[in-house]
Copies of this chain bind each other. A is one copy, B any other.
Amino acid sequence: MNDKPDSPANSHPSYDKLARHFQKTSHFEHFNALGDWDQATMMPTGGAAARGEAMAELALHLHELKTAPMLAEGLAQASREPLSGEQRANLREMRYHYQQATLVPGDLVQAKTLQGYKCENAWREQRKHNDWHGFKPNLEAVIALTREEAQIRADALGIPPYDALLDKFEPGMTTAKLDANFGQLQLWLPSLIQEVTDKQAREPGVSLNGKFGVQAQQNLARELMQLLGFDFNQGRQDISSHPFCGGVPGDIRLTTRFDEADFTSALMGIIHETGHARYEQGLPQAWRGQPAGLARSMGIHESQSLFCEMQLGISPAFLAMLQPKIQRHLHYPMTQDELARLYTRVKPGLIRVDADEVTYPCHILLRFEAEKALIDGSLSVADLPDFWSQQMQRLLGINTDGNYRDGCMQDIHWTLGELGYFPSYTLGAMYAAQFRFAMEQTLGPMDELLAQGRLEALFAWLEDKIWSKGCLLTTDELMLGACGEALDGKYLERHLRQRYL
């Protein structure tokens, strides 16, 4: 561990003991990450049973480590020891992890996990058949357990129930802060969407017609990852049906799904995941295995992938770098302008994961409002479809009456009781826009840096301000250090207006 005691006066035996315990836990997390990655990319179907049993055993062992009785006493004692600022930050994160692992009683965790699996499992079929009536009782059970969880967390932490759910994914975030930032969004976004779609209606559309071999796409993807500074000595890229960024410190593994009829989605998928991966590769080495060495939050993580994809990836200057590479690998004639029109096409639609960066926040606003109301009890699951349709109408002018499949049944999150997660996506977009603004104050316009081939300057800024901080700073401290101010959604508005109007 760092900050080794240099004199007996600086000794902190309880902190050291905690640090060793978290280090040990991280070694078992290593195998959890490896097992997950292997399962998604390499494991033959026949290996599922043995892997499932081994992963369950490992989960139990991790739970025991994370709730070990020595932790409570150790945390109390360590707080009275002479610690450096960084050690104190690590201790804060240790306490957070211990709280997360112990706040909710084991039988509620188990009940929610079981009900979540049941609901998710049935949902996979029910969604296909637009079967709201089959889905509803399962979701009701999950929401009831999630409300119970939220209340227990709220009581323990002394914060409102929905804040206590946010705390799982975005520590320090509150409903009040979200209401302020997302409330602003509601004021300008619907009219902006109208303006943009009106403007784009006058532009020619772009369509793809070709077959794009997986190997060629793979080669292009790896070249892009290299361009974006991904270190292949410290990671891999493979194929899986659901793209993700996994692995462990020093060995970050991202995955892609290639579509032979359309290269554009995998291409931006790779850029997105590379954003996640560079964050992970850039976390502070000295704090590996400690809570302070982990990524800050889901929102900050998403800000790094969205910075890569939305701020950088689909900017004209980056597309100018991309176009000859596409030409060379895929032999498909597409001008830079066509690429830009394709990647910046704004079209209100039913499905969140297919949404462009302008309409995407509307999907999150809707879910945020629904989650809050489901948790405080002002919205019942029975009323969810009507609520959904009204909000879709209001935000995107789309009627979803009777279309449950592409309405409130489209996401996996709620089936598992993961309420409080959705805001991270739009927080990520807001953080990313704000980071870019702050970065440009120091480095000058991003487009000019790209034109000079100084791509790495952007990443050096991110590494300095965000990656290397791990969890040593709170999110508020991180924003203040990077941007000189707290989260402000106005930079997202500014970004979207500049790019789309």
| Interface of A toward B, CB cutoff 8 Å | 24, 27-28, 30-31, 34-35, 38, 42-51, 53-54, 56-58, 231-236, 247-251, 288-289
Contacts and interface: CB of A to CB of B under 8 A. Distances in A.
Contact of A46 (B38, B58, B235): B235
17 contacts: A27-B53, A28-B54, A28-B57, A28-B58, A31-B54, A34-B35, A34-B38, A38-B38, A44-B232, A44-B233, A46-B231, A46-B235, A46-B251, A47-B247, A50-B251, A53-B289, A54-B248
Contacts of A46: 231, 233-235, 250-251
Nearest to A38: B34
A100 B53 CA distance: 26
A247 B56 CA distance: 18
Given A27-B56, A44-B251, 13 more contacts: A27-B57, A30-B53, A31-B34, A31-B35, A42-B236, A46-B233, A46-B234, A47-B247, A47-B250, A47-B251, A50-B250, A50-B288, A54-B248
Chain A contact residues, majority secondary structure: helix
A50 B249 CA distance: 7
- For A34, A45, A48, A288, the residue with the greatest tally of chain B CB atoms inside 10 Å of its CB is A34
Contacts of A236: 42, 44
A35 B47 CA distance: 15
Contact of A24 (B42, B50, B51, B57): B57
Contacts of A42: 42, 236
A58 B27 contact: yes
A58 B54 CA distance: 13
Q: Pick the 10 closest A-B CB pairs, nearest first.
A: A47-B251, A46-B234, A27-B57, A30-B54, A31-B31, A27-B54, A46-B233, A50-B250, A46-B250, A47-B250
A57 B27 CA distance: 7
A20 to B, nearest CB: 11
A326 B27 CA distance: 45
A140 to B, nearest CB: 35
A247 B46 CA distance: 12
Nearest to A49: B250
A268 to B, nearest CB: 24
Contacts of A50: 30, 248-251, 288
Contacts of A44: 232-236, 251
A4 to B, nearest CB: 18
A234 B27 contact: no
A233 B24 contact: no
A58 B50 CA distance: 18
B34 A248 contact: no
- For A53, A56, A58, A231, the residue with the greatest tally of chain B CB atoms inside 10 Å of its CB is A53
